């Protein structure tokens, strides 16, 4: 089997509402680039990457000469062809490598007639548990209400739990002053006794704020405190003084950083991201190191459509030491680009695809519709907030000053 062509298509798919985070917002839609790799046997493998536009489409097209004639089975050679660790200082292709690795695994799986998880050691579970992943929300275009107060947040979580069966709730914070977010977090604990909680302000608390927040939740049923402050040393300082496990998806995203965390522990739990780490296989390797050193493992979400979600499911299927629910933004989407429509949750879990390869195929009409929508709307900056023109994020952050004021409706 040999690669003959690569094609990248940027799409934008609506979310139910704009989602706030510490660096700005997801502006009511995700922008993703779908990658298709054709082989000489007529098969097409699928990949996906965050962001996009003409630059991303051109960057993938520019890799065509490196990929032409490459055997998709040769995944280690691919890693050095695309993202040699020293050349990557200049090329920065790790996320592109990930999308191409997904597509190659999809090709190999289809060629052999086996699901990707069978290429990664075989599954140890048939479905992967997910957390509810709660965001503060602007009012949505489709009439969904703002999410700002403790009551609104609990009501939102209750609806998600009723619809999807979540028993773990992650609050994305760093938006309002910590005292308000603490009130929200404790309201979730009161509303859902027996469920587990996690809080992630995307590193924007000061050390003092992080210590105070951590101390104030020690009595609750916490999975972990995720990136409360910036940096591995920052996490280590919080970890020394707070009796809650510390997690990160930001400062342990490669093997050098994982080594640093082994030698000088800052994070008890590492959230593995199939894109940030450069592929599903890199995440499996990292999970093996974590198993050896008793570092917990979870699955990170960087905002996914069905192709990337499939990579997360195959990863989650094969990790014996996946002792935490995975994260997904998926249930905030209004639609997807895969055949059959969005994958469904049952009892807070999503079934691992069992078809050959990644087990998902593109719905051509949906891809065309959302590629057209991207051409119409373009991209948006992740680190800007459409509700606060001129604002940009600092660390520690300056947050919405008044959580008592309703969030504005956006255009
Ligand atoms: Mg995070």
Amino acid 401: pLDDT: 67
Domain shared by 348 and 371, yes or no: no
Give residue 8 CA to ligand 1 midpoint distance, Å. Answer: 27
Buried b (16+ CB within 10 A) or exposed e, 106-144: bbbbbbeebbbbbbbeebeeebbbbbbbbbbbbbbbeeb
What CATH number is associated with residue 98? 3.30.390.10
Domain shared by 221 and 151, yes or no: yes
Amino acid 44: pLDDT: 98
Whole domain around residue 322: which residue ranges?
121-360
Domain shared by 28 and 74, yes or no: yes
Domain shared by 87 and 145, yes or no: no
Q: What is the mean pLDDT of each run of 10 residues along the chain (411 residues)?
A: 98 97 94 98 98 93 96 97 87 94 98 98 98 96 92 98 98 96 98 98 96 98 98 98 98 97 98 98 98 98 97 98 97 98 98 98 98 97 92 82 86 70
Question: How far apart (Å, rounded) are the C-alpha atoms in residues 74 and 84?
Answer: 15
Among 333, 383, 396, 359, which Cα is nearest to 16's? 333
Question: How far apart (Å, rounded) are the C-alpha atoms in residues 284 and 263?
Answer: 20
Amino acid 178: pLDDT: 95
Domain shared by 78 and 222, yes or no: no
Give residue 301 CA to ligand 1 midpoint distance, Å. Answer: 8
Domain shared by 206 and 245, yes or no: yes
Among 315, 331, 360, the domain-final residue is 360
Among 360, 386, 403, the domain-final residue is 360
Domain shared by 290 and 351, yes or no: yes
**4-to-39, 57, 66, 81 alpha-carbon distances in Å:** 5, 17, 11, 16
Give residue 251 CA to ligand 1 midpoint distance, Å. Answer: 10
Question: How far apart (Å, rounded) are the C-alpha atoms in residues 61 and 236?
Answer: 42
Domain shared by 356 and 246, yes or no: yes
Could you tell me if 225 and 199 are in contact, meaning their C-beta atoms sit under 8 angstroms apart?
A: yes
Give residue 253 CA to ligand 1 midpoint distance, Å. Answer: 12
Give residue 193 CA to ligand 1 midpoint distance, Å. Answer: 24
Domain shared by 318 and 189, yes or no: yes
What CATH number is associated with residue 316? 3.20.20.120
Cα angle value 61/89/298 (rounded, 5°): 85
Give domain status of residue 402, yes or no.
no
Domain shared by 109 and 170, yes or no: no
Catalytic positions are 172, 300
pTM over 0.75: yes
Give domain status of residue 129, yes or no.
yes
Provide the residue count of the chain. Answer: 411
Give domain status of residue 283, yes or no.
yes
Give domain status of residue 90, yes or no.
yes
Question: How far apart (Å, rounded) are the C-alpha atoms in residues 349 and 58?
Answer: 37
Amino acid 345: pLDDT: 98
Give domain status of residue 10, yes or no.
yes
Give domain status of residue 385, yes or no.
no
Question: How far apart (Å, rounded) are the C-alpha atoms in residues 203 and 22?
Answer: 8
Domain shared by 159 and 252, yes or no: yes
Give residue 270 CA to ligand 1 midpoint distance, Å. Answer: 10
Among 311, 222, 313, which Cα is nearest to 269's? 222
Domain count, the chain: 2
Amino acid 395: pLDDT: 84
Handedness of CA 295, 299, 302, 308 (dihedral sign): positive
Give domain status of residue 132, yes or no.
yes
Give residue 78 CA to ligand 1 midpoint distance, Å. Answer: 29
Give domain status of residue 172, yes or no.
yes
Domain shared by 222 and 320, yes or no: yes
Amino acid 396: pLDDT: 83
């Amino acid at each position: 089997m040999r690669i003959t062509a690569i094609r990248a298509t940027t799409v934008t798919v609506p979310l139910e509402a704009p989602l706030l985070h510490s660096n700005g917002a997801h502006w009511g839609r995700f922008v993703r680039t779908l990658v298709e790799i054709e082989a000489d046997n007529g098969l097409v493998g699928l990949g996906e990457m965050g962001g996009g536009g003409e630059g991303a489409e051109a960057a993938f097209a520019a890799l065509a000469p490196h990929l032409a004639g490459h055997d998709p089975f040769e995944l280690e050679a691919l890693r050095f062809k695309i993202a040699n660790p020293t050349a990557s200082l200049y090329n920065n292709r790790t996320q592109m490598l990930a999308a191409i690795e997904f597509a190659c695994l999809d090709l190999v799986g289809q060629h052999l007639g086996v699901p990707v998880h069978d290429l990664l050691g075989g599954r140890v579970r048939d479905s992967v548990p997910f957390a509810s992943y709660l965001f503060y929300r602007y009012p949505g275009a489709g009439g969904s209400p703002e999410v700002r107060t403790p009551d609104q947040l609990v009501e939102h979580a209750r609806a998600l739990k009723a619809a999807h069966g979540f028993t773990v709730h992650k609050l994305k914070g760093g938006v309002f002053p910590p005292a308000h977010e603490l009130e929200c977090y404790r309201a979730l604990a009161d509303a859902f006794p027996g469920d587990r909680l996690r809080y992630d302000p995307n590193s924007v608390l000061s050390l003092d704020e992080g210590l105070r927040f951590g101390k104030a939740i020690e009595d609750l049923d916490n999975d972990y405190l995720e990136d409360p402050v910036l940096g591995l040393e920052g996490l280590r300082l919080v970890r020394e003084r707070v009796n809650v496990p510390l997690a990160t998806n930001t400062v342990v995203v490669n093997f050098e950083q994982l080594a640093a965390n082994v030698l000088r522990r800052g994070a008890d739990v590492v959230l593995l991201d199939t894109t940030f780490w450069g592929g599903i296989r890199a995440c499996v390797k990292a999970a093996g190191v974590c198993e050896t050193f008793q570092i917990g493992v979870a699955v990170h979400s960087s905002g996914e459509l069905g192709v990337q979600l499939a990579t997360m499911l195959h990863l989650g299927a094969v990790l014996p030491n996946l002792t935490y629910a995975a994260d997904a933004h998926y249930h905030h989407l209004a639609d997807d680009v895969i055949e059959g429509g969005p994958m469904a949750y049952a009892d807070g879990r999503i079934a691992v695809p069992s078809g050959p390869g990644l087990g998902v195929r593109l719905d051509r009409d949906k891809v065309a519709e959302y590629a057209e929508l991207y051409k119409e709307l373009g991209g948006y900056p992740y680190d800007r907030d459409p509700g606060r023109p001129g604002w940009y994020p600092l660390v520690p952050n300056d947050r919405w000053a008044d959580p008592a004021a309703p969030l504005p409706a956006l255009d």
